Amino acid sequence: MPPHLLDGQPHQHIDRPRRVRQPGEPLRIGIGGPVGSGKTALVAALCRTLRDEISVAVLTNDIYTTEDADFLRRHAVLPDERITAVQTGGCPHTAIRDDITANLDAIEDLIATNDPLDLILVESGGDNLTATFSSGLIDVQIFVVDVAGGDKVPRKGGPGVTFSDLLVINKTDLAPMVGADLGVMARDAAAVREGRPTAMISLTEDPTASEVLVWVRSHLDHAH
C-alpha cells in the first residue's frame, strides 16, 4: 500500500501474506473501530451466546492498559483463561496491521491453554477510520462505527468502513437524539461498500446482536 498521511505525518502500511487457515485451526475474526463505538460491548454480546455453542476465546488490544479484557472478565462473558490482552503502546493499529508479532504470540498462548478452539475474536484498540487488520492475523474483519459521530461517518469512507467484511453501525437507538438519519447512513454505506454487508444494530434493543451473530455463524459454518 502506498504511503499516506496519518495525523499529518507520512505513514505506510506493510502488506503481509494472507494467512492460510489450516484444518483444525480456529477461525479468527477481527473487530475494529473508533474509540467508544461499542467494540467491547459487541464482543461481550457475541461471547454470551456463542460460549454455549462453540469453544471461543478473546484477544483484546489496548495502548497502555488491559481495560477491555478486564471489562470482559468482570462481566464473566468467558472464563478468565479464555481472555487475554496485548498492550500495544504507541499507535494501536500498528499491532494489528504492521507488526502483528505480539498478537500472534498471544493467539498461540490462547490455543495452547484452551485447545481446541473454534473461534478467536481479536479486538483492536480504538483507532480512526483508517485502521484495518493484517490479513496475516485474521481471516475476516468487522468494523464498528456508531451514530454518535453523525450520519456523515459512512460517507467519509476509509479502509475500515469501505473494505471490512462486515460494517456494523451501532447504537441506532441514539439516532433521534443526535440528529442522525439512519436511512442516509445505510445508503452511504451501500454506496462505498460495493455489495459488502452492513448491519445496523442497537445492543440496547437487541442485546444478542442477532444480525451480527448470524453473520458470524455463517463464517463458522464455512470454516468447518
CA distance 143 to 68: 17
Collapsing DSSP states into helix, strand and coil, what is residue 154? helix
**Euclidean distance between CA atoms 60 and 125, whole angstroms:** 7
| Cell triple for 40 | 467491547
Cα-trace Rg, the chain: 17
Residue 89 among known ligand-binding residues: no
Whose CA is closest to 184, among 217, 146, 152?
152
> Is 40 assigned a ligand-binding role in the annotation?
yes
What whole-number distance in Å separates Cα of residue 81 and Cα of residue 169?
30
Q: Is 38 annotated as a binding residue?
A: yes
Please tell me whether 156 is known to bind a ligand: no
User: Residue 34 annotated as binding?
Assistant: yes
Residue 37 labeled ligand binder: yes
Binding-site entries: 33-40
Binding-site entries for GTP: 33-40
